[in-house]
């Protein structure tokens, strides 16, 4: 079996789960060849831990044996890193979102098309057991015709932002940081959005870091992105949806992701995770847990890169596609634009709704169907 040799750029906290999943054999299509970071010591530490080579980004781009780059840098670095790798002829799978500015995302999509290269973008949690089971339920007609949906999350970025400072910057607020999980899950099931109308707010934009021991303890900082977001969406299918996001609330994360149909209601778990329970409610019945029909219920970050690698080998379109990622990215920018202008924003982009993964591939390949076979 031909393996796709990958290099990871960005050795921060999220890199461990990617590297662990690749080197453990969870995704046998992938081979971890190298890693890079702005801080060479960080790259060297991860290289020693996971048995790959520490390299610079320039060395990775120049290495003809490396097929794909997985970009795990902060959002502000996504555009230059993706562009550099595409220009070097590498396929790229990037953490969310594709960029910070809308024009940057559009340019990257066009560059990948021009070069004939694959570009995939997280979140890939929609390929996990929960969302794939939810997609199976909807497409099987178990809740009838979908007519509306609701997505909601609250968090406390006042705490997170004191040590993950990129969350306070443009492109790092709750909309761009967490919105991608909710909007991508809905996009994978319901398809593209046609128009959006929204209100947003930056509650208490001027703050002081209260985290004792942090390098910037006691320093003033400013929130650059909205921390309260409400939006109404009209999908191309006619489904209407609402989005509520609040990162100026209590620490305990609350979430809701629901699709309402003519014959039932679907309740999904947290789309930032892979294997939360999925429930359905029918007329005059209690909410009932539906058995998961798909694999990847554990933390399977990297599954989008693995599915893209299989797509490269098989010569087909990848599911965590640049088109869907850009559409979700444009949708979030449309929400911000609508709030600024007071107008309904018509989206320009669209995408082909990705096919669901085949069901039943939930085992380790012994007496059961191996999870990764669903990606092949």
CATH number assigned to the domain comprising residue 35: 3.40.50.720
Q: What is the dihedral of CA 149, 182, 257, 336, to 10 degrees?
A: -60
- Are 284 and 138 in a shared domain? yes
Q: Determine the Cα angle at 325 with ends 103 and 62, to 5°.
A: 75
Query: What burial class does residue 301 get, using C-beta atoms within 10 Å of its C-beta: 0-12 exposed, 13-18 middle, 19+ buried?
Result: buried
Among 98, 121, 144, the domain boundary falls at 121
What's the mean pLDDT when you consider all of the chain? 94
User: What pLDDT is attached to residue 126?
Assistant: 98
State the number of CA atoms in the 13 A half-sphere of 76 facing the CB: 8
Instruction: Please say whether the beta carbons of 223 and 207 come within 8 A.
Output: yes
Encode pLDDT of 333-359 as tens digits.
999 999 999 999 999 999 999 999 999
Structure tokens at 233: 């969406």
Instruction: Return the pLDDT at 89.
Output: 98
Strand (E) or helix (H) holding 63? none
pLDDT score recorded for residue 64: 98
Domain coverage including residue 146: 126-290
pLDDT value of residue 158: 65
Q: How far apart are CA 196 and CA 232, in angstroms?
A: 6
Closest by Cα among 302, 328, 320, 350 to 120: 320
Asked whether residue 149 falls in the same domain as residue 69, the answer is: no
Q: What is the CATH number of the domain that holds 240?
A: 3.30.360.10
Q: In this structure, is residue 334 part of a structural domain?
A: no
pLDDT band per the 50, 70, 90 thresholds, residue 365: confident
Tell whether 304 is covered by a domain.
no
Q: Is 96 in the same domain as 187?
A: no
* Cα atoms in the 13 Å half-sphere on the side-chain side of 151: 23
Total of domains in the chain? 2
Q: What is the pLDDT of residue 211?
A: 75
Query: Per the domain annotation, does 360 fall within a domain?
Result: no
Q: Is 167 within the bounds of a domain?
A: yes
State the pLDDT confidence band at 164, using cuts at 50, 70 and 90.
low
The reply to whether 316 falls in a domain is no
Domain boundary among 290, 316, 351: 290
In a domain, 329, yes or no: no
* pLDDT of 219 strictly over 80: no
Q: Tell me what pLDDT residue 62 has.
A: 98
Q: Could you tell me the pTM of the whole model?
A: 0.94
Average pLDDT of 94-110? 97
58 and 195 housed in the same domain: no
């Amino acid at each position: 079996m031909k393996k796709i040799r990958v290099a990871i750029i960005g050795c921060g906290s999220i890199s461990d789960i990617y590297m662990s999943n690749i080197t453990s054999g969870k995704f046998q299509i992938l081979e971890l060849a190298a890693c890079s970071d702005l801080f060479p010591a960080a790259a060297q530490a991860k290289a020693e831990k996971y048995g790959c080579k520490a390299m610079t980004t320039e060395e990775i781009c120049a290495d003809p044996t490396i097929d794909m780059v997985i970009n795990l840098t902060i959002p502000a670095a996504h555009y230059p890193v993706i562009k550099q790798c595409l220009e070097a002829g590498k396929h790229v799978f990037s953490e969310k979102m594709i960029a910070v500015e809308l024009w940057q995302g559009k340019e990257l999509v066009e560059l990948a098309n021009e070069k004939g290269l694959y570009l995939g973008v997280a979140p890939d949690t929609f390929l996990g057991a929960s969302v794939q089971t939810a997609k199976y339920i909807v497409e099987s007609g178990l809740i009838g015709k979908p007519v509306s949906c609701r997505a909601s999350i609250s968090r406390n970025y006042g705490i997170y932002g004191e040590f993950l400072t990129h969350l306070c910057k443009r492109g790092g607020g709750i909309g761009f940081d967490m919105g991608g999980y909710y909007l991508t899950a809905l996009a994978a099931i319901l398809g593209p959005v046609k128009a959006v109308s929204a209100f947003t707010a930056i509650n208490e934009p001027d703050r002081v870091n209260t985290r004792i021991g942090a390098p910037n303890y006691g320093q003033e900082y400013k929130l650059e992105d909205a921390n309260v977001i409400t939006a109404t969406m009209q999908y191309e299918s006619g489904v209407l949806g609402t989005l509520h996001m609040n990162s100026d609330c209590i620490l305990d994360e609350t979430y809701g992701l629901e699709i309402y149909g003519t014959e039932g209601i679907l309740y999904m778990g947290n789309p930032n995770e892979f294997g939360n329970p999925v429930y359905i409610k029918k007329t005059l019945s209690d909410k009932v847990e539906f058995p998961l029909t798909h694999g990847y219920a554990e933390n399977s970050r990297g599954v989008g890169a693995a599915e893209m690698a299989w797509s490269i080998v098989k010569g087909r379109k990848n599911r965590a596609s640049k088109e869907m990622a850009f559409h979700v990215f444009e949708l979030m920018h449309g929400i911000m634009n609508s709030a600024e202008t007071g107008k309904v924003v018509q989206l320009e982009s669209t995408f082909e709704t990705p096919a669901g993964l085949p069901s039943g591939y939930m085992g380790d390949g012994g007496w059961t169907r191996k999870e990764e076979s669903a990606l092949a």
